[in-house]
Amino acid sequence: MHSDSSDLLTVAAVQMAPIWLDRTRTLAKVVAQLEAAASAGAQLVTFGEALVPGYPFWLERTDGARFESPLQKALHAHYLDQAVQVERGDLAPVTEAARALGVAVVLGCIERPSDRGGHSVYASLVQVDATGGVVSVHRKLMPTYEERLSWSPGDGHGLRTHRVGAFTVGGLNCWENWMPLARTALYAQGEDLHVAIWPGGMHNTPDITRFMAREGRSYVISVCGVMRRSDISDDLPHATLLRERADDVMANGGSCIAAPDGSWLVAPVADEERVIVATLDHARVREERQNFDAVGHYARPDVLQLSVNRERQATARFTDGG
């Protein structure tokens, strides 16, 4: 194998707990972890799904489908209050840190976008480049199971890849990674480093991470969060009830990195907050594409072809006269 320094990229998967349902304090913790990852040499730093301000763990534990429930309404109202509005500048601490440190970032957040009225939320994967620019925001196409009681379905606007060093980076939220057409949309744009973001759980990552690496002949980072009963603070609405209903551990991590042949570069890490750092070699991608390239020499676009709508969806479109 021949490779040189231009082929190498040092990446970090930050497995951390949020300051649950507190946007400002969670962002401060994200920035601290960015600094730690950058000091370890990381050029791309990744974080789990819905990390800012946190995953809605209460839904399955507090009868989340109860219609007209005052409890569910109160928790949802707080969630919206703490969600991220990118256009308002809520991610400024992260973008400013990315620029100062010269690192690219993949961050999972709960987005409350004004272009959909400002009162619904989406599980969004935000990519920030090393100049501090927000280069794409991908809203999860389909929330999973009880998530649909809180999150709205997204669109294809953020199904995009971006260059980071020698690599072309794309990402998907949680169970989107099981959607073969969503994966294909990224493969078709040259993806060779895939970032799968998860709220956390060893039940999620071991199989799909290696499978995606083997299918895409790409590096795959699965980055997870951690969440424990002890992370429920006193100042949250219904904090006592939330603690009573919570498990000791609701998300135990599982972050890992697979190489383009499906082998482990970093096997799944559980039960701790940790900055996981590894160096990737693009030559390994080129080697594995020799015998299989899902959208290249092994594709048959004359037989099978994917159409992707990347228009940002809106409920109303306004045309104003001059």
pLDDT in tens, 75-86: 999 999 999 999
Select which of 140, 147, 176, 224 is catalytic: 140
Whether 140 sits among the annotated catalytic residues: the reply is: yes
Select which of 29, 111, 147, 174 is catalytic: 174
Q: What is the CATH number of domain 5-288?
A: 3.60.110.10
pLDDT in tens, 27-67: 999 999 999 999 999 999 999 999 999 999 999 999 999 99
- Work out the average pLDDT over 85-106: 98
- For residue 15 the two structure tokens come to 């497995």
pLDDT above 80 (res 279): yes
pLDDT in tens, 102-140: 999 999 999 999 999 999 999 999 999 999 999 999 999
Say which residue the tokens 């010269």 belong to: 102
Q: Where are the domains of the chain?
A: 5-288
Whether 224 sits among the annotated catalytic residues: the reply is: no
Q: How far is CA 175 from the centre of its chain?
A: 11
DSSP 283-318: HHHHHHTTT--TTTTT--TTT-------PPP-S---
pLDDT in tens, 201-213: 999 999 999 999 9
Select which of 29, 49, 176, 288 is catalytic: 49
- Work out the average pLDDT over 10-26: 98
* CA dist list (Å): 50 to 83, 110, 139, 319: 10, 5, 11, 35
Check residue 2 and give its pLDDT.
55
Whether 49 sits among the annotated catalytic residues: the reply is: yes
Check residue 3 and give its pLDDT.
62
Tell me 143's DSSP state: -
pLDDT above 70 (res 250): yes
- 181 CB neighbour count, 10 Å cutoff: 11
* Cβ–Cβ under 8 Å, residues 227 and 55: yes
Locate all alpha helices (DSSP H) within the chain, ordered by sequence. Answer: 23-39, 70-82, 92-101, 180-187, 205-216, 239-245, 282-288
